[in-house]
A and B are shown apart, each in its own frame.
Chain A
Amino acid sequence: MSVVLNGAEIARALKRISHEILERNHGSSDLILLGIPTRGVAIAEQIASDISGIENSEIECGTLDITMYRDDLRLKPPRNLFPTRIPASGIDGKNVVLVDDVLYSGRTIRAALDALNEIGRPRTVQLAVLIDRGHRELPIRADYVGKNIPTSKNENVKVHISSVDGIDEVTIESDLK
């Protein structure tokens, strides 16, 4: 197991993403961050607090559970659902930034787009991820990436976030022993 990002590096990457989001969207008006459970939620909250710090204004942040929209539901026993919390003002006409920890096959994001479609019609949907590890199986890309990590399919990228795992770090382990 090797550590590819430590706590300080994660913080810097998220700060940079926060600036990039503001730059791309010309400020924070009409901006909503939606974290995908579980670790995407904590990352979205961190980005929201960074943006609030930069802009001196509160930014709306919610969660979007995509379990019911997965394409691999029938391959495994039923998964637990997580709550979906959409800010009261809704997502219609807003710029929605989906936030997840790792971008891999792209299937989670496809499911997230389906879930979003049921809730409303955002003006744009963007994607921020802490780690992009490649091996896409669908035509999906991230707009904001913390770090690109080329991996082999035998490797496992794990994001630890202090509010969930007690520590901020990203590790990579190999399945082959």
Chain B
Amino acid sequence: MKNLLSIDDLTKAEAIEILDTAVTLSNLSETGVKKFPTLRGRTVVNLFFEDSTRTRISFEAAAKRLSADVINFSAKGSSLSKGESLKDTAMTLQAMGADAVIIRHNSSGAAHRLASQKWIDGAVINAGDGTREHPTQALLDAFTIRRNLKNDQGDLKGLKVGIVGDILHSRVARSNVLLLSKLGAEVVLIAPPTLLPVGVDSWGTSVSYSFDEVIGDCDAVMMLRVQKERMEDLFFPTEREYSRAFGLTKDRIAMMKESAIVMHPGPMNRGLEISADSAESNKSVIVEQVANGVSVRMAVLYLLIGGATTRDLETHLGENK
């Protein structure tokens, strides 16, 4: 594994290896070990072309707990706002010796471009590209489901996960559908027809237009943020109507299975896709997702740049010649 660009690149075994590594790391931090020397001397660059709180801070915390040096690079206040191209930015990072570049970009495929053009030889981690993918979010969601419902063991066979809301604009949904299916869970997408992408029938999931009909069967319900910033058209008549049909409320929580959990990748639009009391109900694992995010990202960083990287091997080979 050199990069993490898409869930599609992972085999089921690799995905489970990431989750297992994250379990070990998360248990260690519970015993009070907060810092590891493992990535000392490695440089990790957070390259964020799009706003983010959770993901950037989570990657930063993960890298710092592994003793890596972290450089935060956001579009605002950098030469990017002067019109520098992705290529020139990448070449600058290469010259600075970045061992891993974590990239978030509003264009789908930006991470692939960065990784495939050989501008940099460090690892590339996709932290969200347009409406395409957000693999580490899917991994932390799978981790959270597995921790709560499968006792940190194996895959997710036999579980039913409902992904609710703005599927059309959601990279979180895309990565989750790929990963959850790979791990054997059954996924049902719940959204109004206007918020489902064209060709959704080829995703291998079931689709429901009625939240109330399927909520009782779900072991986990994943609420998605209504992404107003990506909505150029009118996708539903009013926010109140959306909220009534697809919002998670106290009444709907009461319809859920006893063991079922409520998730949200954040940031939440309270009162729109999720009501304040359901976000804080005892079924909600939303805060836990954030904590798990750090462990999962530590696992990804460890597996990508904790061992010998391509660059290490090249220097090493050079010495032996």
A114 proximal to B (CB < 8 A): yes
Q: How far is the CB of B67 from chain A (nearest CB, A)?
A: 10
B69 proximal to A (CB < 8 A): no
Q: A78-B306, A79-B307 are in contact. Are A84 and B37 (CB under 8 A)?
A: no
A125 proximal to B (CB < 8 A): no
For A118, the chain B residues whose CB sits under 8 A away are: 33, 35-36
Q: How far is the CB of B169 from chain A (nearest CB, A)?
A: 35
Q: How far is the CB of B81 from chain A (nearest CB, A)?
A: 36
Structural contact, A119 and B24, CB atoms closer than 8 A = no
Structural contact, B21 and A77, CB atoms closer than 8 A = no
A77 to B37: give the CA distance in the assembly, Å. Answer: 17
For A65, the chain B residues whose CB sits under 8 A away are: 24
How many chain A residues touch the partner (CB < 8 A)? 21
B117 proximal to A (CB < 8 A): no
For A114, the chain B residues whose CB sits under 8 A away are: 37
For B21, the chain A residues whose CB sits under 8 A away are: 80-81
B51 proximal to A (CB < 8 A): no
B265-294 with Cβ < 8 A to chain A = none
Q: A68-B38, A69-B36 are in contact. Are A77 and B307 (CB under 8 A)?
A: yes
Q: How far is the CB of A32 from chain B (nearest CB, A)?
A: 13
A residues contacting B by CB (< 8 A) are 65, 68-69, 73-84, 86, 114-115, 118-120
Structural contact, A84 and B312, CB atoms closer than 8 A = no
Q: A68-B37, A79-B307, A82-B24 are in contact. Are A119 and B31 (CB under 8 A)?
A: yes
Structural contact, A68 and B32, CB atoms closer than 8 A = no
B86 proximal to A (CB < 8 A): no
Q: Which of the residues A76, A83, A120 comes within 8 Å of B308, measured between beta carbons?
A: A76
Q: Which of the residues B32, B312, B316 comes within 8 Å of A119, measured between beta carbons?
A: B32
A84 to B32: give the CA distance in the assembly, Å. Answer: 11
Q: How far is the CB of B319 from chain A (nearest CB, A)?
A: 11
A65 to B28: give the CA distance in the assembly, Å. Answer: 10
Structural contact, A80 and B36, CB atoms closer than 8 A = no
Q: Which of the residues A75, A84, A115, A120 comes within 8 Å of B27, measured between beta carbons?
A: A84
A114 to B306: give the CA distance in the assembly, Å. Answer: 17
- Between A and B, 7 residue pairs with Cβ closer than 8 Å are A68-B37, A73-B308, A76-B307, A78-B302, A80-B17, A119-B31, A119-B32
Structural contact, A81 and B33, CB atoms closer than 8 A = no
A119 to B308: give the CA distance in the assembly, Å. Answer: 27
1/0 contact string of B303-321 vs chain A (CB within 8 Å): 1101111001000100000
B173 proximal to A (CB < 8 A): no
The closest CB in chain A to the CB of B32 belongs to: A119
B25 proximal to A (CB < 8 A): yes
A119 to B36: give the CA distance in the assembly, Å. Answer: 11
Q: A65-B24, A82-B24 are in contact. Are A119 and B307 (CB under 8 A)?
A: no
Q: Which of the residues A69, A75, A83 comes within 8 Å of B316, measured between beta carbons?
A: A75
